[in-house]
Amino acid sequence: MKEFSKHIVIIGGGIVGLATAYKLARGVPGARVTVLEKEAAIGRHQTGNNSGVLHCGLYYKPGSAKALLAVSGIREMTEFCRAHNIPHEICGKLVVAADESELPRLHDLHERGQKNGLQGLQLLNRKQMLEIEPHVGGVAALKVPQEGIVDYPKVCDALQQEIEKLGGCIATSARVTALDEQSRGWTARTAAGDFEADFLVNCAGLHCDRVSELAGEKREVRIVPFRGEYYKLKPARQFLVRNLIYPVPDPQFPFLGVHFTRLIEGGVEAGPNAVLAFAREGYRKTDINPRDLFDALTFRGLWRFLGKHKRMSWEELRRSFSKRRFCESLQRLVPEIRESDLETGGAGVRAQAMSPDGTLVQDFCFVNRRKALHVLNAPSPAATASLAIGEEIKNLIANEI
Ligand SMILES: Cc1cc2nc3c(=O)[nH]c(=O)nc-3n(C[C@H](O)[C@H](O)[C@H](O)COP(=O)(O)OP(=O)(O)OC[C@H]3O[C@@H](n4cnc5c(N)ncnc54)[C@H](O)[C@@H]3O)c2cc1C
């Protein structure tokens, strides 16, 4: 029987919380981990509603945590998938410049990818890109061979098994409602009882700012939910997309623009867009949560963001309500796509941290204080990078436990 001398509680059973629990259980001698998850099962929010893409670190500012952890994270994630027989495929992707005006940004992206250490990036002319994706539009493309697709819910299941093998535990239906600081650490009060902790890690995704407030932190940076809606390609038209086809992103917004993703379980998704949501777990257009709405409307950062990005916010909203507009965006990538090829798909909600001045926090954000580490921004590519994030958290807190 394994002897434990300390207890680490991780709040949030999404992929970041689970990967962190796994890394801590493996890497901190004498540590027993417990993951507290408010839902009846793990991975129900961002992790279970994302695009299933393995991002290799192309987009992110060189030297940023996102760039470093995506590059090491994709390597670790693919090794983990291989070791646990989790379906995944490194199929590569094309980032497509729809017209000449996008070429400078495509070249900048190429340079950025090289600075981030990506191998095999290749700028393609139209003839070359058609050999890879015969139905793609545009004038040029960047081939990114390292990117892939994966089944993230299966990764979560494997992480759960590993955590349990290491003597850890995952408590579901255990919403954390209060955190009381004690001389030794914390008591987490939950719907499933109290849990004593020598150290807390907050990986609560869409609610991470609120959980940090329960631990006495000021909520300067706040989570603003952006819903991402998908369409699915009808089976008869899936031949139009072989793998992953992305637009050249707008450097101001970390969201990547609507794109095509082949899914590991079969089928092709189109999307997601990025619409301000009226509920942090608002998966339908009509979902409104009064607390979340009040929280958003009383946050001056959101008003500043809307003031600065009126056009973008309005265009996203219009596209959300108009299949025709959504289809027009997709046609910039694959001109043969028709509205009739698209069936309504699912949706996910991104937990995006926003500063009081209305800027979106671009990098991952970890705040380590008073025997607690709070993950306050872990948007895409945090699923890809989750094992690397867990390793980073382990290194940040190992000396304090
Ligand atoms: C539409 C969309 C597409 C994306 N595509 C990709 C992609 O292709 N590749 C990629 O790498 N990333 C992608 N991402 C990002 C990725 O999904 C997230 O970065 C990642 O899942 C974050 O994981 P998490 O564990 O932090 O959050 P979550 O998965 O949201 O988990 C947080 C958990 O905390 C729990 N929780 C919250 N409050 C409490 C509480 N008080 N008590 C107990 N539990 C609590 C929640 O129930 C939830 O299960 C995408 C995200 C979205 C929304």
| 3-class DSSP string for the chain | CCCCCEEEEEECCCHHHHHHHHHHHHHCCCEEEEEECCCCCCCCCHHHHCCCEECCCCCCCCCCHHHHHHHHHHHHHHHHHHHCCCCEECCCEEEEECCHHHHHHHHHHHHHHHHCCCCCCEEEEHHHHHHHCCCCCCCEEEEECCCEEECHHHHHHHHHHHHHHCCCEEECCCCEEEEEECCCCEEEEECCEEEEECEEEECCHHHHHHHHHHCCCCCCCEEEEEEEEEEEECHHHHHHCCCEEEECCCCCCCCCCCEEEECCCCCEEEECCCEECCCCCCCCCCCCCHHHHHHHHCCHHHHHHHHHCHHHHHHHHHHHHCHHHHHHHHHCCCCCCCHHHEEEEEEEEEEEEECCCCCECCCCEEEEECCEEEEEECCCCCCCCHHHHHHHHHHHHHHHC
Residue 37 beta carbon below 6 angstroms from any ligand 1 atom:
yes
CB 38 within 8 A of CB 177: no
Does ligand 1 come within 6 angstroms of the Cβ of 95? no
Query: Among all chains, which residue has been given the structure tokens 């382990």?
Result: 394
257 pLDDT higher than 90: no
Pick the atom of ligand 1 nearest to 206's CA. 30
What does the pLDDT look like over 261-307, one tens digit per residue?
999 999 999 999 999 999 999 999 999 999 999 999 999 999 999 99
Q: Which atom of ligand 1 is nearest to the CA of 45?
A: 30
Please give the pLDDT value at position 1: 60
Q: Which residues does residue 34 pair with via DSSP β-bridges, in sequence order?
A: 9, 169
Distance 5 CA to ligand 1 centre (A): 30
**Ligand 1 near 148 CB (within 6 A):** no
Please report the atom of ligand 1 found closest to the CA of residue 375.
26
pLDDT tens figures, 353-377: 999 999 999 999 999 999 999 999 9
CA of 103 to the centre of ligand 1 (A): 33
pLDDT in tens, 134-188: 999 999 999 999 999 999 999 999 999 999 999 999 999 999 999 999 999 999 9
Q: How far does the centroid of ligand 1 lie from the alpha carbon of residue 216, in Å?
A: 23
> Whose CA is closest to atom 15 on ligand 1?
380
Which numbered atom of ligand 1 lies nearest the CA of 272? Answer: 1
Do residues 32 and 16 lie in contact, with contact meaning Cβ atoms separated by under 8 Å?
Answer: no
Q: How far is the CA of 134 from the centre of ligand 1 (A)?
A: 34
Q: What is the structure's pLDDT at 392?
A: 98
Q: What is the pLDDT of residues 72-124, one digit of tens each?
A: 999 999 999 999 999 999 999 999 999 999 999 999 999 999 999 999 999 99
Enter the pTM of the model: 0.97
Query: What residue type is assigned to position 183 of the chain?
Result: S
Q: Is 380 in the pocket of ligand 1 (CB under 6 A)?
A: yes
Q: Which residues pair with 11 in a beta bridge?
A: 36, 202
Could you tell me the sign of the dihedral formed by the alpha carbons of 78, 83, 88, 89, in that order?
A: positive
Q: Is the CB of 57 under 6 A from ligand 1?
A: no
Q: Tell me if 44 CB under 6 Å of ligand 1.
A: yes
Cα dihedral 202, 205, 209, 211 sign = negative
Residues with Cβ within 8 Å of residue 328, at least 6 apart in sequence? none
Is 16 close to ligand 1, i.e. is its CB under 6 Å away? Answer: yes
Question: Residue 334 pLDDT > 80, yes or no?
Answer: yes
Residue 256 has pLDDT above 90, yes or no: no
Average pLDDT, integer, range 224-252: 95
Ligand 1 centroid to Cα of residue 202, in Å, is 12
